[in-house]
Amino acid sequence: MKKKEKRRWVAVLEITLALLWLISMALAGFFFPGFLMSLPVFKIKEIQIYGTNSIPPSAISSSVYQVSKNNWLFLDSKKLLAKANELTNNSLKDIKIERIPSLDGARVNVYVQERVPIAYVVHDNILMMIDGQGELFYNPAIENKLPTIYTFSFDYIKKHHNNLNNLVESIKDTGFSINEVYVTDRNTIIYISGGRVVLPPLSQISPLVFGRIKKIYNKIGTGKVDVLITSENMAVIKEEK
The model's pLDDT over 57-66, given as tens digits with 9 standing for 90+, comes to: 999 999 999 9
162, 160, 166, 161: which is closest to 178 by C-alpha?
166
Contact indicator for 216, 237 with CB cutoff of 8 Å: yes
Query: How does pLDDT run across 143-200, given as a tens digit for each residue?
Result: 888 999 999 999 999 999 999 998 888 888 877 788 899 999 998 998 987 688 888 8
DSSP secondary structure letters along 173-238 = HTT--EEEEEE-SS-EEEEETTEEEEES-GGG--HHHHHHHHHHHHHHTT--EEEEE-SSS-EEEE
- According to DSSP, residue 73 is labeled G
Q: Alpha helix (H) ranges present in the chain?
A: 2-38, 57-68, 77-87, 154-159, 161-173, 207-220
Structure pTM? Answer: 0.75
Using DSSP's 3-state secondary structure scheme, residue 155 falls into helix
Structure confidence at residue 227 (pLDDT): 72
Q: How far apart are CA 187 and CA 183, in angstroms?
A: 7
- According to DSSP, residue 145 is labeled -
Query: How does pLDDT run across 82-132, given as a tens digit for each residue?
Result: 999 999 999 999 999 998 888 888 899 999 999 999 999 999 999 999 999
